[in-house]
Amino acid sequence: MEASSLMADLQRFLRDRCLSVSNLPQKGRSLFTTRDFHPGEVILNQEPYICAPNNTSLESRCDGCFKTNNLKKCSGCQVVWYCGSSCQKLEWKLHRHECKALCRLEKEKRNYVTPTIRLMVKLYLKRNVQNEKVLPITTTDNYSLVEALVSHMSEIDEKQLLLYAQMANLVNLILQFPSIDLRDIAENFSKFSCNAHSICDSELRPQGIGLFPLVSIINHSCSPNAILVFEEKVAVVRAIENIPKDSEVTISYIETAGSTLTRQKSLKEQYLFHCQCARCNNVGKPHDIEESALLEGYRCANENCTGFLLRDPDEKGFVCQKCMLLRSKEEVKKLASDVKTVSEKAPASPSAENKEAAIALYKTIEKLQVKLYHSFSITLMRTREKLLKMLMDVESWKEALNYCRLIVPVYQTVYPATHPLIGLQFYTQGKLEWLLGKTEEAVSSLIKAFEILRISHGTSTAFMKELSAKLEEARAEASYKLFELKDAFDDN
Ligand SMILES: C[S@@+](CC[C@H](N)C(=O)[O-])C[C@H]1O[C@@H](n2cnc3c(N)ncnc32)[C@H](O)[C@@H]1O
């Protein structure tokens, strides 16, 4: 199919979905709505053009479905894993070429075949098998869409270019295609950096990476009106607020819980643009200053005060903006150094054997951070997330619930009300409460989880059906308990 007819098809495809693409001077291609979209409505979905699971030496995933159980290595290349013959068959049209190419690579070099390298190898192989008509070329699944992606090639620094060149060398070694040059591969790596998406499961845990060239038309905002989630490997963009006709659709490329400076730094580093969204345009205004101080600043010296601290103009320390108490530089420095000392001993991912020791260390870190940081601090929140995960792993449900309940209000402050992380945290809280016999509280938490997650996740996936079933079961148990209580009361 000609590139021009593919473009006309794409415009028709988008028009049918009440969408259009415009070129904005500051942003390049941008996706617009041609009708109103309501919260929870699907705006766009797309299968990956190419994808690869996040396989590491610690954990492998099936190349077809990204699941982790019952895996067997491909007997040919010994690099790729499958959970069974159906996934293997589905992937074979592409993998047969990849397998042959990987087999040519010396065994030791196969360890360097990271998910990103595989993504690049698959990109060229898919282009070829589509050109040879082994796989069909469709409106939303074609190499022309990849060619249209921004690369920012002229703006990347030398260090990054060198890294891309080294990675391109490995890809070249694997593919051995005389027709592609290293610069072309390096440019595609640069495209991956600002266009590829991490494919996450329903609980937002990364499973792999993929290229979704249609979804890649959508620009970023730090207060987006849409969200990108995944149903299996399909990218689904849903509205998270009312999006009126003729509005730009935006998603967030980054973790939005951070100060304007932190967000802008990570957008500049990876996506090479200066964000001028409504939230970023507030930089330096009182609300923005307060937000930064809450998310990344220290707590008041008075334990009962919830004020946020700003640097004292005389450089003596930090002054609480509520009670005006000064917290000395020395005290902050000492606590920060104590946190650092303990943190250096704490393993980032503790093994099963040292989990109890790791929990004890993280509890010490948390106690010190509570003294140092504001209660809405991101750093403190991350420590509590780690603790929650470890406590769940060792089935310490009561303590896990305590941390979960500390995290929820922080999420509600640092994320917008419809953010799925708040819903997921309520889901965890509900499950823990139920497990601990607090059925009525569980019902209330599960309802909150459902109300938030139905917007980002829809209602028809297996994950949401499971949540809904749990909620019904908890409701039934709660009313049975109430009935029993009433009975006992009547008997007396
Ligand atoms: C995934 S692409 C989005 C589509 C892109 N506009 C295009 O023309 O293909 C990411 C790139 O779009 C641009 N971009 C995305 N969001 C932006 C924003 N809020 N402001 C300015 N540029 C933005 C940046 O160049 C970024 O590297």
271: Cβ below 6 Å to ligand 1? Answer: yes
- The fold of 284-414 is 1.25.40
- Candidate from 19, 27, 146 with most ligand 1 atoms within 8 A of CB, to mutate: 27
Residue ranges per structural domain of the chain = 284-414, 417-492
Taking 80 as the threshold, does the pLDDT of residue 490 lie above it? no
**3-state class of 241 per DSSP?**
coil
Taking 80 as the threshold, does the pLDDT of residue 3 lie above it? no
Residue indicated by tokens 């963009």: 237
370: Cβ below 6 Å to ligand 1? Answer: no
Taking 90 as the threshold, does the pLDDT of residue 100 lie above it? yes
191: Cβ below 6 Å to ligand 1? Answer: no
pLDDT for position 186: 96
The per-residue pLDDT for range 436-445, each reduced to its tens digit, is: 999 999 999 9
Domains 284-414 and 417-492 share a fold: yes
Residues ≥6 apart with Cβ < 8 Å to 112: 170
Tell me the CA–centroid distance for residue 391 and ligand 1, in Å: 40
pLDDT for position 486: 75
Q: Whose CA is nearest to atom 13 of ligand 1?
A: 27
Lowest mean pLDDT among 240-249, 437-446, 477-486: 477-486
Interface confidence: ipTM more than 0.85? yes
Mean per-residue pLDDT over the chain, rounded: 95
Signed CA dihedral, 419, 423, 424, 425: sign only: positive
DSSP 418-467: T-HHHHHHHHHHHHHHHHTT-HHHHHHHHHHHHHHHHHHH-S-SHHHHHH
The per-residue pLDDT for range 155-211, each reduced to its tens digit, is: 999 999 999 999 999 999 999 998 888 999 999 999 999 999 999 999 999 999 999
pLDDT for position 348: 79
pLDDT for position 351: 79
Q: Which CATH architecture has domain 417-492?
A: Alpha Horseshoe (1.25)
27 versus 354: which is more confidently predicted?
27
Q: Which ligand 1 atom lies nearest to the CA of residue 216?
A: 1
Going from the C-alpha of 9 to that of each of 5, 32, 102, 308, the distances in angstroms are 6, 17, 36, 54
CA distance 384 to 201: 22
Burial pattern 178-209, b for ≥16 Cβ within 10 A else e, equals: eebeeeebbbbbbbbbbbbbebeebeeeebbb
**3-state class of 189 per DSSP?**
helix
- Find, among 61, 93, 86, the residue nearest to 210 by Cα: 61
Q: Which ligand 1 atom lies nearest to the CA of residue 221?
A: 19
User: pLDDT confidence of 285, banded at 50, 70, 90?
Assistant: very high
Going from the C-alpha of 166 to that of each of 150, 191, 414, 464, the distances in angstroms are 21, 16, 39, 43
Going from the C-alpha of 128 to that of each of 98, 137, 211, the distances in angstroms are 12, 11, 17
28: Cβ below 6 Å to ligand 1? Answer: yes
User: pLDDT confidence of 345, banded at 50, 70, 90?
Assistant: very high
Residue indicated by tokens 């823990």: 432
User: pLDDT confidence of 1, banded at 50, 70, 90?
Assistant: low
pTM: 0.94
Mean pLDDT of 298-302: 97
pLDDT for position 275: 98
Q: Beta 250-251 vs 219-220: how paired, if at all?
A: parallel
Tell me the CA–centroid distance for residue 220 and ligand 1, in Å: 7
Taking 80 as the threshold, does the pLDDT of residue 217 lie above it? yes
pLDDT for position 173: 95
Tell me the CA–centroid distance for residue 285 and ligand 1, in Å: 25
Q: Whose CA is nearest to atom 21 of ligand 1?
A: 27
